[in-house]
Amino acid sequence: MTTALHQGIALHYEIEGAPNAPVLVMSNSLGTDMQMWAPQMDSLLPRFRVLRYDTRGHGGSGLPSPAAAPFGFAELGQDVLAIMDHAGIQRAHFCGLSMGGMTGMWLAANHPERFDRFVLANTAALIGPASGWDTRIQTVRSQGMAAIVDAVLARWFSAAWLAGNAARIAPVRQMLLDASPEGYTANCAAVRDADLRAQLQRIASPVLVIAGTHDLATTPAQGREVAQGIAGARYVELDGAHLSNWEQPEGFAQAVCGFLAG
């Protein structure tokens, strides 16, 4: 684990793979950390130098001081650039899921010179309603992460898969339980306040949008809207829900590797 400092914030990341391989930056979803990409690592490492990081407020990454200072996707995107600079990486591919996908949209629209191809998975340019985020923020502030874990998992996985894979889901449950309430709610606010729809038309990089047929958090319709808003973007739909990389790990890896291979 390595730490980059950006505007006084410690940003933890890990880089693995052959030094001469193409770099792939991977950005986690809300409430998880870099370990959310564990199901894909065996497929990715033979092909890429994989840089996983903890979004600020998650895992080993800190928050601004004071912690109540708000931030948005401009700051989250700049964190990625700071990590890349610290690691000596000038150019990379990018893969982000949910909140990580929104970070990817901002980077593709504002810093395309640093990236080749983008995978935007189980995400949307606007994730509402704001009232739902406000309720979740208040619940976590008053009762902690344990109060929302079951409801979050029910939205992240299809019912049949959730019922039959308790052991496989255990690491995801633990990531949520271990998440910092302060970090989680700060990032909830960033997602709540973000509307990236106008930025989609500025994206000229090659983009793959991955959606989950049973995704209740960012629906296939929202995924198609992202793909339709980006000139030339491709769209793939997997038979899974929000964490499609856990529910369909092989299909997810095949889609990512195939697209990034050009």
> For residues 123 and 30, is the Cβ–Cβ distance under 8 A?
no
Q: Determine the pLDDT at residue 66.
A: 75
pLDDT in tens, 118-160: 999 999 999 999 999 999 999 999 999 999 999 999 999 999 9
Neighbouring C-alpha atoms within 13 Å toward the C-beta of 137: 18
> For residues 105 and 225, is the Cβ–Cβ distance under 8 A?
no
pLDDT in tens, 74-95: 999 999 999 999 999 999 999 9
pTM to 2 decimals?
Answer: 0.97
Model confidence at 171, in pLDDT bands (50, 70, 90)? very high
Q: How do 49-53 and 9-16 pair as beta strands? A: antiparallel
Euclidean distance between CA atoms 184 and 74, whole angstroms: 18
The verdict on domain 2-260 having CATH code 3.40.50.1820 is yes
Q: How do 92-97 and 9-16 pair as beta strands? A: unpaired
Q: What DSSP state is assigned to residue 27?
A: E
Q: How many CB atoms lie within 10 A of CB 204?
A: 12
Q: Where are the beta strands (DSSP E) in the chain?
A: 2-6, 9-16, 23-27, 49-53, 92-97, 115-121, 207-212, 234-238
Q: C-alpha distances in angstroms, 261 versus 40, 233, 255?
A: 16, 15, 10
Beta bridge partners of 14: 52
Q: What is the mean pLDDT of residues 32-45?
A: 98
CB burial of 91-100 (b: ≥16 within 10 Å; e: otherwise) equals ebbbbbbbbb
Q: Determine the pLDDT at residue 65.
A: 83
User: Where are the chain's structural domains?
Assistant: 2-260
Mean confidence (pLDDT) of the chain: 96
